Structure 1
Amino acid sequence: MAEPDEESTNEWDTDRYDKGHSFVFEYGEGVVALLEPERGERILDLGCGTGHLTARISDSGATPVGLDASEEMISKARDTYPDCEFVREDARDFSFEEPFDAVFSNAALHWIPEQDAVLESVADALAPGGRFVAELGGAGNVAAIVDAVREDAAERGYDVEDPWYFPSIGDYASKLESHGLETQYARLFDRPTELENGTDGLADWLGMFGDSLLAPIPDDEQPAVISGVEDRLREDHFEDGTWTAEYRRLRVVAVR
Structure 2
Amino acid sequence: MSSDAHAIWDAERYQARHSYVWQFGEAVIDLLDPHPGESIVDLGCGSGQLTAKIAERGARTIGIDPSDEMIAQARANFPSLDFRIADAASLTIEDPADALFSNAALHWVNDQAAAIASIWRALKPGGRFVAEFGGKGNIRRIIEAAGGANPWFFPGIGEYSALLERQGFEVRFATLFDRPTRIEGEHGMEEWLGMFGSALMRDPKSVAEKLRPEMYRDGGWVLDYRRIRILAIR
Shorter-chain TM-score range? over 0.9
Aligned with residue 182 of structure 1, among 170, 174, 179: 170
Residue 30 (str. 1) matches residue 46 (str. 2): no
Deviation, 1:92, is 0.5
* AA of the residue aligned to 2:164: L
State the distance in 2 between where 1:72 and 1:230 align.
Answer: 27
The aligned length equals 234
Aligned with residue 231 of structure 1, among 205, 209, 214: 209
Change (3 A) 1:19 1:70: same
State the distance in 1 between where 2:198 and 2:191 align.
Answer: 11
Render the CA deviation track for 1:139-172: whole Å, top value 9, x for unaligned: 000010111011xxxxxxxxx6200000000000
1:44 is matched with 41
Kept in 1, the 8 Å contact 2:4–2:89? The answer is: no
Name which one, 1 or 2, has greater alpha-carbon Rg.
Answer: 1
State the distance in 2 between where 1:190 and 1:5 align.
Answer: 27
Residue 15 (str. 1) matches residue 12 (str. 2): yes
1:213 is matched with 200
Kept in 1, the 8 Å contact 2:4–2:88? The answer is: no
Runs of 4+ in 1 over 6 A off after TM superposition: none
Change (3 A) 1:5 1:170: closer
Q: How does 1:9-158 map to 2 (within 5 A)?
A: 9=7, 11-150=8-147
Kept in 1, the 8 Å contact 2:3–2:106? The answer is: no
2:158 is matched with 170
Deviation, 1:4, is 6.6
> Aligned to 2:189, what secondary structure does the other structure show?
helix
State the distance in 1 between where 2:5 and 2:223 align.
Answer: 29
Structure 2 length normalisation: TM-score? 0.97
1:161 is matched with 149
Deviation, 1:2, is 3.9
Deviation, 1:128, is 0.4
Contiguous gaps of at least 5 residues in structure 1? 151-159, 215-221
Render the CA deviation track for 1:151-196: whole Å, top value 9, x for unaligned: xxxxxxxxx6200000000000000101111100000000000013
State the distance in 2 between where 1:73 and 1:17 align.
Answer: 9
> Aligned to 1:24, what secondary structure does the other structure show?
helix
Change (3 A) 1:5 1:172: closer
Deviation, 1:234, is 1.1
Deviation, 1:97, is 1.9
Deviation, 1:5, is 4.6
Kept in 1, the 8 Å contact 2:3–2:105? The answer is: no
State the distance in 1 between where 2:130 and 2:10 align.
Answer: 27
Change (3 A) 1:87 1:193: same
Residue 201 (str. 1) matches residue 188 (str. 2): yes
State the distance in 1 between where 2:232 and 2:172 align.
Answer: 5
CA-atom RMSD, angstroms? Answer: 1.2
Aligned with residue 249 of structure 1, among 209, 224, 227: 227
State the distance in 2 between where 1:192 and 1:13 align.
Answer: 24
Deviation, 1:14, is 1.2
Contiguous gaps of at least 5 residues in structure 2? none
